[in-house]
Amino acid sequence: MLLGDVLRLFRKNRVRIHPTLIPMAGAVTFFSAFNSVAYRVQRAIFDRRIFATPIDQPPVFIIGHWRSGTTHMHELLAHDDRFAYPTTYECFAPSHFLLTEWYMARWTGFLIPSQRPMDNMAAGWNRPQEDEFAICNLGGPSPYLRLAFPNHPPVHMGTLDMEDIDKSDLERWQAALDYFVRALTFQKRKRLILKSPTHTGRVAVLAKMFPGAKFVHISRNPYDLFASTVRLWKSLEQVQAFQTPRHDYLEEYVFTCLERMYEGFHRQREQLNPSQIYDIRYEQLAQDPIGQIELVYKHLELGDFEPVRPKLKAYVESQSGYQTNRYEIGPDLSRRIADRWSNYIERYGYSEIGALP
C-alpha cells in the first residue's frame, strides 16, 4: 500500500495495534513509504505509455465465492501462453512492478512461503494472483482491508455488489483497476486472465469497463465452501492482522458476503450476453479438468484448445497427489448453511446434498 493509505488505515482504526505487532506495523509503514516514492517514479516514466495502451482483447474474469476453485481455474488457464496473468509480485507491488519486478521478484523470493497456508497450493512471486490485492494496494476501496483490523466491523461491503456504493468510492475503485489492467497490458501485450472472488457481484461494472469481457463462474458444495472460507480468513488474519483476531463475527461475515455477492451477481448477469459467461461446478472441474477447460474455450471462444492440451495434461498429472482439505460440520451449523444459503444451493444443484439431520 502507499504511505498515505496506510496512515489513513491506522487513523481510521484508532491505531489499535496489538503491542507485539507494533514492529510489523513499523515495517509496513517503512515499505509503504518506499512504495509511494517508487509509484511516483513509475508514473513519471510510464504513465503516457500506460494510458495510451489500448485493451484490444478484453480480460477473462474468473469469478465465484472464495474457496470455490477459482485459483485452480486460474492456474489451469495460465498454462496457455497466448494469455497473461498478474503475478503475486505484481498484485502486491502494483505501484511499481514495472520498475522493480525484474530484480525484486528474483532476490526476495524467500519472503513468500512455498505453499499457501489455507490449502497447501504452491505459492511464489511468479504464480498467478488475484487482482483484488492490487486494487487494495493502489488505494482502492476493498473488503480485504478488514484483514488489517479483523476485530473491527467489516469495511467496504458495498464493493461486493457495487449497487450501494458511494460514487467517490466507485470512481477510486475503477481508477485503481483500470490503471492496473492497463499497466499489465502495456507490459505483457496479451489478453489477461484475471481472478478475484470479489468480482462475482461486480460483473455489470466490469462488463461496462471492459466491453466484450468474458466470465468463468465456479460454484461449489456450499458446506465445504463455508468451512473452507472460515479457514481461509483465519489463516490470513493470523499473518496479516495488526490485532490478535477474536473471530467473534467471522461466521456471520462469511454468510453475509456470499448472500450479498450472489444477490448482485444474479441481478447483474442478466445484463450479459449468455455467450460472455460460462458456469461450471468445482466438482466437475476436479473430476475432469481438461475436458471442462475445453468446454470453457468452446463456449467463450477463447481460441484453439489443442495447442494447450499437452501442457494442461502435464500439469494435471503433476498435481495428481494433491489432496483437498476435509471438513466436519456439525448438525446445527449444517442447518444454518442450508437455511441461509438456500438460494445458492437450489440454483447450483446442491439440493441433493442436504443438511445434516
User: How large a percentage of the chain has pLDDT more than 90?
Assistant: 87
User: For residues 93 and 182, what is the distance between their CA atoms, to the nearest angstrom?
Assistant: 15
Residue 277 pairs in a beta bridge with: 215
Boundaries of every domain in the chain: 3-347
pLDDT (0 to 100) of residue 108? 74
**In b/e form, how buried is each residue of 291-315, taking b as 16+ CB within 10 angstroms?**
ebbbebbebbebeebeebeeebeeb
Residue 243's identity, in one-letter code, is: Q
The mean predicted confidence, pLDDT, of the chain is 93
| Between 261 and 110, the higher pLDDT residue | 261
Closest CA to 157 of 167, 149, 165: 165
pLDDT class of 357 with cuts at 50, 70, 90: very low
Specify the CATH number for 3-347; select among 3.40.50.300, 3.40.50.10090, 3.30.9.10, 3.30.70.360: 3.40.50.300
Is the pLDDT score of 285 beyond 70? yes
Using CA atoms in the order 348, 146, 214, 284, what is the torsion angle rounded to 10 degrees? -40
Cell (9 digits) for 284: 466437475
Going 195 to 200 to 205 to 210, the CA torsion angle's sign is: positive
CB 146 within 8 A of CB 154: yes
Residue 26's identity, in one-letter code, is: G
CB 131 within 8 A of CB 91: yes
pLDDT (0 to 100) of residue 110? 64
Q: What is the pLDDT of residues 35-49, one digit of tens each?
A: 999 999 999 999 999
